[in-house]
Structures are given as structure tokens and as C-alpha cells.
Chain A
Amino acid sequence: MTYAGNALTDIRVLEELAAKDTFVHRRHPVANLLVTLGFIVAATSYGKYELSAMLPLGLYPLFVFLDGEIPSRPILTRMLLALPLVLGVGLFNPIYDRKVIAVIAGVAVSAGWVSFLSIILRCCLTVIVALLLISVEGIVGFSAALRALKVPSILVMQLTLTFRYIHVLGEEAARMALAYRLRAPGQKGVAPRQWGPLAGQWLLRTLKRADRVFQAMLCRGYHGDLPQVKEQPFRLADLGYLLAWTAFFTTARLVNIPQAIGTLILGTGG
């Protein structure tokens, strides 16, 4: 399969996971969205040297992975795509921030390395949790949650249709790439002189295809507003789920849990 085809399959795999029926999947989309937002707020609010204090937050994605029966591979491979950007952002910390803040087994650890690792950890956690939200809710549930939170429908529709359009773009790219490869045996990638014509054709074909998809939607009653799909009430269990995780994130943010456990076990203060 072509790279475009693989990328498209990856997106679809995440959406297909949303069809499962587990405790997490059964939660109201608003509960899952708010828990995710709470997680992201908590994770990004830690100080740059607070590395160990952040570790308990990992319990939430771990819970969703296990309870939601979400395979780790598609999530982790997509998470890796975000890493180069984060590495670029945090790379200079160890160079410029050399103040030693700890000595572990005789090795001096600089503040720059701690903040570097802290940036990577919070990036990994937030990206994983965002991908898990899509895996649990799918774009449909995610849109339903936004609508329930009174986000303007025009914005939600733009988001949903953009997501759908990615599929159309990907499918056309996959077809064209395959057709090109079959008629260019032994050639690595697309020859530079073909980039322009191919990109132009890709856009034109995608527009035409998108037009047909839109026509098909019109014929089935689409009138500019996607219908609510997850028509489920916000139950007490959803409220309990939301409150439980919010309480956990708040506790993890206010109390350094690993340090508190260490203190408890070793029986030493501070």
C-alpha cells in the first residue's frame, strides 16, 4: 500500500475503535471530552522541573487503554509523529540551563535535562490522551460533545466536514500514487517534474469527488446541519466518571503523589 493509503488506514483505524462497547465507550461524549480537557489542563500546568509529580497522570491513559481495549500501536506510532517538534522545542534546555538540581548515583542532573524530559513527557501524555479521545468517541461523538457544550454548530460542522475531507483527499492520493507507481517501475517516489501536474490533478479530482459526496449527502436530506448521533442522556455514572477523574487530576496537581508515597514508605519528612 502507498504511504497515503497507510496514513488513511491509520485514521480509519482510530475511528473504528470508537465502535467498541466498553465502560469508557459508554460514557457520554461530554464526560469523555471534559475529562480529556481536564487532563490536558492539569498536564500543561505543571512547573517545568516537576517531572516525578506528573507521573501519576499516566494512570488515566493507562485506564483508557485497558478498559477501552484500545491497541497501543496505532496510538503510539501517531504520537511519535509529534515527537520531532517537541524535541526541537526542548533541545536547547540542557544546553542553556545547566544548574545542577540533583545528584543521582553520583551523576549530576542539570535542571535543563529535567525540564527537557518534562516537556517530552507532557507532550506524549497530552497527544496520547487526545488520540484516545478520538479512539473512544470518533469524530461523530467528539462533534456531539462539542454541540452539547454549545460550541457554534458552524464550527462543529467545519470540523466534521474537514475530517471527512481528509478521507477524500487521502483516497484520491492513494489512487493516484498507486497508478503512478504502477507506470513508473523502479522509480523511487514521484519525479520532481511531475509534482506540479500531480498536485493539480489531485486537487481537481478531490474537488470533483467531494462534490459528488456532497450531492449524495444532499440527496439524503443533509441541510447544512449534521444530525446528533449519540443520542444518550448524561447519566449519573457519567457525572461520577467526570468528577472522579477531575478529583484525581486536581489531587495529582496539588500533591506530589510519588513524593508523598516515598515519604510514607521511608517515613522521612520533606
Chain B
Amino acid sequence: MPILSLKNVEFTYPDGRKAINDVSFDVEPGQCIGLVGANGAGKTTLLLMLPGVLLPAAGEIRVLDIRLDKTSAPTIRRYVGLVFQDSDDQLFTTSVYEDVAFGPRNMGLSAADTASAVENALAVTGITHLSSRAPYRLSSGEKRLAAIASILSMDPKLIIMDEPSSSLDPKARRKLIELLRRMPQTKIIASHDLDLVWDVCSRVIVLKEGGVAADGETKTILSDEKLLDACGLELPLRLSVNGNSHRRG
């Protein structure tokens, strides 16, 4: 049974702009999927639909075979964790610990279970030493790890991330890639950072004007310069550098 299934999903914003158009795909447990596309392709809108923040205007989304609608959305959010593009949107309490504990407490976990979930999430992300720090005093990289910890503490089955490597320096980015590789959960990562997608994801879905332009194995898709170009994307840096030097040579 797929962990996530989308069938002919559509979404239109109140201003009439169609952001998602007839999107269908399945995600199997344990997969790590890269969601790529040019600006305005519909990546963020699609991500917001998966935990039911936005509901489809047509079509069907199923998470663990539960059909997503207004009633089931709170249940589905127990299984789907969304890491926002801007960590400041996600971290709003007075300490990292409180932020990581926000989800478990909302799930009704006891104090002991909440503490255990928080400690585990902080340990996995390697930020136990930051637990008492105020989130707004952290660096971008630390904030991103705290935001991921705030999702991990809820023990989600599916983790979705919106531009996880944006505003990270190279060291923080590398740390993030290592963390993503270690995380066993099913993941969907929307990113412009195609090198990160190359390193972490085994499958890539390319969005173009709200629809799926391609869906397949990462290296095949991300090496297809023609396809990427048609979708407003460029080859990953590692390929374009090699390609250029090859051409020059």
C-alpha cells in the first residue's frame, strides 16, 4: 500500500489562478522523492496540500489510505510532518525545547513521553545543546535543524520539506544532507538545489505549470538537459561543470 497517493489532484487559488493541475502519483514507504520545478510551478502549493493545509478542489489525496478532507486533516497531520521554507514561521516559542515539544503536546502525549520524544528528536538532529536557547537567537542552520526536530518529535511517517537547503552555508548544507540520508522516514523534498536532490533522493518528480512533467529515477531525470530546460531548470552544478569543461576540452 502506498504511503501517499494522489489522483487527478487540482487546486485553484481564490484569485482564479490554477496552481495544481491534474497531478497523480504514488509514494511507497521509505522512498525519498525530490520535487523540482521552476518558481511558480506549484511545489509549495502541492506540499501544503499533503497535510491538508490546503484542500484539493478536485481529485483525491490519500495518506496511509485515509482520504484527505476537512474532517480527516487533523488525523493525517499526525502522520505527515511539514518543514517550512522559512524556519522562523515554524519556530515561535521561547526555547528550542518548547518548540520541539509543541507537536507532541498537541498530540496529547504525557509529560514523560513528550520529554522522551523531544530528547530523541534533539539527539537525532544533533542540537541537544541548543534546547534551552531562544530560537530567534540561532543561526539559519541551527534554526533549520530545530525546525526538523520539531517535526521529528511527532514521529511522522512522511516528512515533507520545502527548500530545506535555502539560506544555509556549505557546512550547514552538508550537515543537512547527512541528516536527511540518516532519516529513515519517507521524504518528499521540494528544492531548487538539484545537487542536494541528487545526493539524497532516489526519485524525482518535475512540476511544470502545476502539472507533472516527469517522474522517474533521479539520475536519469536530472541528467536530461532538454527536459530540465523545458521546465525552466538547469543541470545540477556537478553535471554542468563537468559538461562545460568537457565541451571546452
Contacts and interface: CB of A to CB of B under 8 A. Distances in A.
Interface residues of B, number: 33
Interface string A204-226: 00000100110111111111000
Contacts, number: 72
A167 interface: yes
B86 A221 contact: no
Q: How large is the interface on A (under 10, 10 to 19, 20 to 34, 35 or more residues)?
A: 20 to 34
B89 A221 contact: no
Interface in A216-243: 216-223, 227-229, 231
Given A221-B106, A223-B74, A19 B132 contact: yes
A12 B134 contact: yes
Interface in B105-163: 105-108, 111, 132, 134, 136, 150-151, 154
Contacts of A231: 111
A69 interface: no
B11 interface: no
A164 B136 CA distance: 13
A221 B84 contact: no
B53 A219 contact: yes
A173 interface: no
A220 B79 CA distance: 10
A223 B73 CA distance: 11
A189 to B, nearest CB: 26
A138 B89 contact: no
Interface string A121-148: 0000000000000000010100000000
Nearest to B54: A215
Contacts of B65: none
A218 B74 CA distance: 8
A10 interface: no
B89 A213 contact: yes
Contact of B53 (A12, A171, A215, A221): A215
Contact of B105 (A138, A171, A209, A227): A227
B222 to A, nearest CB: 29
Given A16-B134, A216-B84, A140 B98 contact: yes
Given A16-B134, A140-B98, A223-B74, A216 B90 contact: yes
Interface string B68-95: 0000001001101110101011101111
A220 B132 contact: no
A216 B89 contact: yes
B133 to A, nearest CB: 9
B79 to A, nearest CB: 11
B113 to A, nearest CB: 12
A18 interface: yes
B106 A223 contact: yes
B211 interface: no
A180 to B, nearest CB: 20
Nearest to B97: A19
A20 to B, nearest CB: 10
A229 B105 contact: yes
Contacts of B102: 217, 220, 222, 227
Nearest to A139: B94
Nearest to B82: A219
Contacts of A218: 51, 53, 77
A36 to B, nearest CB: 20
Nearest to A138: B94
Given A138-B94, A167-B92, A219 B77 contact: yes
Given A212-B89, A219-B77, A219-B80, 8 more contacts: A16-B134, A19-B94, A213-B90, A213-B92, A220-B150, A221-B74, A227-B106, A229-B105
12 contacts: A12-B94, A138-B94, A140-B93, A213-B90, A219-B51, A220-B81, A220-B154, A221-B106, A221-B107, A221-B154, A222-B106, A227-B108
Across chains A and B, which 10 residue pairs bring their CB atoms closest together, nearest first?
A221-B106, A227-B105, A220-B103, A212-B89, A216-B90, A219-B82, A215-B53, A15-B94, A231-B111, A219-B51
